[in-house]
Structure 1
Amino acid sequence: MKWDHLVNDKRRRESGVTRYKSSDIRSAFENDYQRIVMSASFRRLQDKAQIFPLEKSDFVRTRLTHSIEVSTIAKSMGNMVTHKISEDNIDAEFTYEDAEKIPEILACTGLLHDMGNPPFGHFGEESIREWFKINLSKIKYNGKALDHLLTQQMKQDFLYFEGNAQVLRVVSKLHYLFDEYGLNLTHATLNSIIKYPVSSLHINKTQIKSKKLGYFYADEAIFKEVTSATGAFNHRHPLTFLLEVADDIAYLNADLEDGVKKRIVSIAQILREFEETPDHNWVTAAVYGELKKKNIRYAGQEESFIAQQWLASNVRGQLINRALEEFYKNYQAIMAGEFNQSLLEASEADQLVQILQNLSAKYIYTDPGVVESEMAGNKIISSLLDSYIPAVLYYDSPFPERFSAKDNRLLSLISDNYIGCYRKNAATEDEQMKLYLRLLLVTDFICSMTDSYAKDLYHKLNGLN
């Protein structure tokens, strides 16, 4: 892979009028950034929970604040990487123009990376997968079960449903800005958000690039177009490794910080987790030592202040620096598409990451408020799928007599943009593909919902308001 292709700032639809106006001095990626920030899909993230149920406290993160943090960390890492590559002459073909573009691309991808997630956190994705696992063999269309009517890839798109793959749909199709190209972002930005450049048929959890599906069958043409334009093809874009690190660092730090603020986990419990981990390497020992010092130095202060100080001044820096060491060490393998680990897992910070993950799993993800929210979210999403999947089966089908007045009213609540997207993409397709696209229409609709809207719609449809 070559940087001059990887940072391709062309768009799927170029506008010769607006792009080259002399009065517009923005770079293509600054333009991407503005389109993202001003989009409704980005604004909706303010009403989607990160981990904890949405509440009045401004301290606890939402998907919106998490995404801003990821964007900030990713951009900072991009600046560090470009400086290192240039100063140490790691890549003789790396240019000043490449260096200018990389931080801007990463700032955009940080904002985008969670835009496809359904309401109620990552458990929302699991709820969708579970529903289809149970119901694909039960629900019938024209007398045949859905799992007998769809191709293997179509079925697996739902059985392995991923918010990451949904991001590509949102920004390239569903978010109607001017036309059917969605936000019409640059090829480099689109490619960098594809964390897993494989279809649902090629999931292989032993390799980082294929742990999950990266695009739906309906979006395969877009995937091929974008990855051909950047020269990444079926390899991970190098900037995706950095985006992944930024996301991991943001959630590892934020979940723990929010947990201490809410008094779900204490400094003593954090220290104990370190002490119960045998054979500290130098990174773990250094971070643990700093927490002990801060706990003594700031004795009497709020524990959330101590945690915030420690995470900001010690943990975050170690994670960033150790991950970047791996990026430089494995630079040639990354550029060749041959590096098959996450940077943090391969680094000397791996033990620290495990401790932070264990703390969240032990104290935060099992908190009653979090579990109650997930269970409520599962009930809401399952109920909406119960209503909407049967309702779309005979819409735009050869059997209009089976499309009821109730079905029609349910569909009237789906965004006109999404209905229009379906009709445009289904216009020339056969009945099998149309059926698959109608099922995607429902998951598109649910993923677009905020936590509050999903809850309110559930209440209204079930007569609870």
Structure 2
Amino acid sequence: MRWQSLLSRKRLAKDGLAPELPYRSAFEIDIDRITFSTSFRRLSDKQQVHGIGGSDYVRSRLTHSMEAARVGRSLGSWAGAEIIARYGQDAVPASAADIGDVVGAGALAHDLGTPCFAHTGEDVISDWFAGTTLGREILSGVDGQQAAELSNFEGNAQGFRVLTRLQGWRAQGGLQLTAATLGTYGKYPWAAPAFAGEERPHKRKYGFLGSETDLMAEVAGELGLIPIGRDAWCRHPLAYLVEAADDACYSIVDIEDAVKMRMLSFADAEELLEPLIDWDRAEYEGIEDEDRRLIYLRARAIDRLVTDAAAAFLDKLPDIMEGKPVGPLLKMIARTDALKEISDVSYTQIYRGHQRCETDIIAARTVTTLLDAYAEALLAREKAGPGADLPRRFASLLETVPGIRQIPYDRAGWTRSLMDYIAGMTDRFAIRQAQLIAG
């Protein structure tokens, strides 16, 4: 792969290159378009970990995305300077700051496809299609790839659809972001399996839906990503930095939030974070307040992980540029054991803790209620056909769906629209709709 192509400023579904502005780069424009999108605003009411059971202090998907974007910008700028030094400015058509903006944009957008209730929502949607009578009936009427997408709902793929089709005012290309930003966003640039048993680059993860295959192919072709199979390409090199920014943020700040939620003690957090940081013991001992000490620990830990991730990226860059998968950067650093300990504690005491399980119960009932009602009504609409009268309970319910008259009647089309609607809901809106349906 070549940086001349990988840093392409060409915008999706737009002919030619837009003129460069003297005060705002193409990649800064990408950041602006993401920031002002409706889907980005909705992240303020989508849970990061603690959801509706959390306090006003703990992070939402919005604050997490903003933090990951700042870490991504630092990683990208740091790595960008070395990329230019290694390959030469003639081969790298961007500044270090530009590369930082590309990574920052990818990180800012990385959770836009997250459904209500985040990973719990993904699991409940997947389980509903794979495990209920109505869900399986719907799957029987779509092709193998869409059935795989529905029974293994993937927020990353939904996010690519949001960026390239659902958001923005333009008729084509969604937000019409640059190819560089869209490529950097894509941690999993391949489609779901088209049939049971088809081997894919990852057992569960995929990065775009069948409905956006042509758009992904356009992006991959512009960037020069290396094909690795059916509707599959290697990662954009900068996608590794987006992944590292996300990993560095959530692994550390979930510990900070858990202390605020009294799921962990301050002493627990101190013990977990201490191995990650380079101590200035006198500076730390001079901080008397535990809240401020926690901020210090979080800041120092993330700073250390940024440094280590950048070094790992630069070490693996020759392999990455050949399209070879190298794995998450933070699994290559000297402090991997400390991160593993944080991961283990997070799983047992935070992600599977009592408070989180209470939130998951609400999420499961909410999403199941929504799918039961809307899928039944849309299936009845499909069977009745255009212009037919529906029973009042279906007709009234479907009037609550935005743009219902534009939703297709064919199974593949309306299931996509249903997923767009439910995945786009905020947590509180989903709960209100489920309560309305349940009466």
Give the alignment's TM-score, normalised by structure 2. Answer: 0.88
Deviation of 1:270 after TM superposition, in Å, equals 4.1
Q: In structure 2, give the amino acid aligned to 1:239.
A: L
Q: Distance in 1 between matches of 2:201 and 2:89?
A: 28
Residue 362 in 1 paired to residue 348 in 2? yes
Q: Distance in 1 between matches of 2:20 and 2:199?
A: 48
Relative distance call for 1:299 and 1:19 in structure 2 (3 A) is: closer
Q: Distance in 2 between matches of 1:454 and 1:179?
A: 28
Q: In structure 2, give the amino acid aligned to 1:41.
A: S
Report the equivalent of 1:191: 183
Of 413, 417, 422, the match for 1:446: 422
Report the equivalent of 1:456: 432
Once the two structures are overlaid, the 10-residue window that deviates more, 407-416 or 357-366, is 407-416
Residue 10 in 1 paired to residue 10 in 2? yes
Report the equivalent of 2:310: 324
Task: Tell me the secondary structure at the aligned position of residue 97 of structure 1.
Answer: coil
Q: In structure 2, give the amino acid aligned to 1:168.
A: F
Where structure 2 has 5 or more consecutive residues not aligned to the other structure, the ranges are 228-232
Q: Distance in 2 between matches of 1:406 and 1:311?
A: 51
Task: Please give the per-residue CA displacement for 1:145-177, whole angstroms capped at 9, x wherever unaligned.
Answer: 334332221110111111111001111111242
Q: In structure 2, give the amino acid aligned to 1:327.
A: F
Deviation of 1:42 after TM superposition, in Å, equals 0.8
Residue 308 in 1 paired to residue 295 in 2? yes
Deviation of 1:210 after TM superposition, in Å, equals 6.2
Task: Tell me the secondary structure at the aligned position of residue 200 of structure 1.
Answer: coil
Relative distance call for 1:251 and 1:85 in structure 2 (3 A) is: same
Task: Please give the per-residue CA displacement for 1:352-401, whole angstroms capped at 9, x wherever unaligned.
Answer: 22111112112222332221111101110011000111222244667344
Deviation of 1:127 after TM superposition, in Å, equals 0.8
Relative distance call for 1:366 and 1:32 in structure 2 (3 A) is: same
Report the equivalent of 1:79: 77
Report the equivalent of 1:428: none
Report the equivalent of 2:35: 37
| Paired residues of 2:10 and 2:18 also in contact (CA < 8 A) | no
Aligned length: 431
Of 350, 360, 375, the match for 2:336: 350
Of 157, 168, 171, the match for 1:179: 171
Deviation of 1:324 after TM superposition, in Å, equals 1.5
Where structure 1 has 5 or more consecutive residues not aligned to the other structure, the ranges are 275-283, 424-430
Q: Distance in 2 between matches of 1:93 and 1:330?
A: 22
Deviation of 1:90 after TM superposition, in Å, equals 5.1
Relative distance call for 1:405 and 1:190 in structure 2 (3 A) is: farther
Report the equivalent of 2:402: 415
| Paired residues of 2:284 and 2:293 also in contact (CA < 8 A) | no
Taking only aligned residues, the RMSD between alpha carbons, in angstroms, comes to: 3.1
The percent of aligned pairs where both chains have the same amino acid is 29
Q: In structure 2, give the amino acid aligned to 1:379.
A: R
Of 193, 206, 215, the match for 1:213: 206
Report the equivalent of 2:57: 59
Q: Distance in 1 between matches of 2:260 and 2:54?
A: 14
Task: Tell me the secondary structure at the aligned position of residue 195 of structure 1.
Answer: coil
Q: Distance in 1 between matches of 2:147 and 2:435?
A: 30
Q: In structure 1, give the amino acid aligned to 2:351.
A: Y
Task: Tell me the secondary structure at the aligned position of residue 238 of structure 1.
Answer: coil
Deviation of 1:92 after TM superposition, in Å, equals 7.6
Q: In structure 1, give the amino acid aligned to 2:215.
A: I
Q: Distance in 2 between matches of 1:161 and 1:98?
A: 37
Counterpart mapping for 1:102-181 below 5 A: 102-135=99-132, 138=134, 145-181=137-173
Residue 297 in 1 paired to residue 285 in 2? yes
Residue 68 in 1 paired to residue 66 in 2? yes
Relative distance call for 1:223 and 1:210 in structure 2 (3 A) is: farther
Relative distance call for 1:5 and 1:15 in structure 2 (3 A) is: closer
Residue 437 in 1 paired to residue 413 in 2? yes
Task: Tell me the secondary structure at the aligned position of residue 240 of structure 2.
Answer: helix
Q: Distance in 2 between matches of 1:194 and 1:227?
A: 10
Q: Distance in 2 between matches of 1:189 and 1:204?
A: 32
Once the two structures are overlaid, the 10-residue window that deviates more, 7-16 or 347-356, is 7-16
Deviation of 1:341 after TM superposition, in Å, equals 0.9
Task: Tell me the secondary structure at the aligned position of residue 393 of structure 1.
Answer: helix
Deviation of 1:407 after TM superposition, in Å, equals 2.7
Deviation of 1:226 after TM superposition, in Å, equals 1.2
Counterpart mapping for 1:87-102 below 5 A: 87=85, 89=86, 94-95=91-92, 97=94, 99-102=96-99
Q: In structure 2, give the amino acid aligned to 1:455.
A: I
Deviation of 1:267 after TM superposition, in Å, equals 3.4
| Paired residues of 1:205 and 1:211 also in contact (CA < 8 A) | no
Deviation of 1:309 after TM superposition, in Å, equals 0.9
Relative distance call for 1:448 and 1:96 in structure 2 (3 A) is: same
Residue 265 in 1 paired to residue 264 in 2? yes
Q: Distance in 2 between matches of 1:90 and 1:230?
A: 17
Relative distance call for 1:257 and 1:56 in structure 2 (3 A) is: closer
Give the alignment's TM-score, normalised by structure 1. Answer: 0.84
Relative distance call for 1:39 and 1:92 in structure 2 (3 A) is: closer
Deviation of 1:449 after TM superposition, in Å, equals 0.6
Q: Distance in 1 between matches of 2:372 and 2:257?
A: 34
| Paired residues of 1:116 and 1:170 also in contact (CA < 8 A) | yes
Deviation of 1:38 after TM superposition, in Å, equals 1.2
Deviation of 1:69 after TM superposition, in Å, equals 0.2
Q: In structure 2, give the amino acid aligned to 1:120.
A: F
Q: In structure 1, give the amino acid aligned to 2:3.
A: W
Report the equivalent of 1:279: none
Relative distance call for 1:91 and 1:328 in structure 2 (3 A) is: farther
| Paired residues of 1:54 and 1:62 also in contact (CA < 8 A) | no
Residue 389 in 1 paired to residue 375 in 2? yes
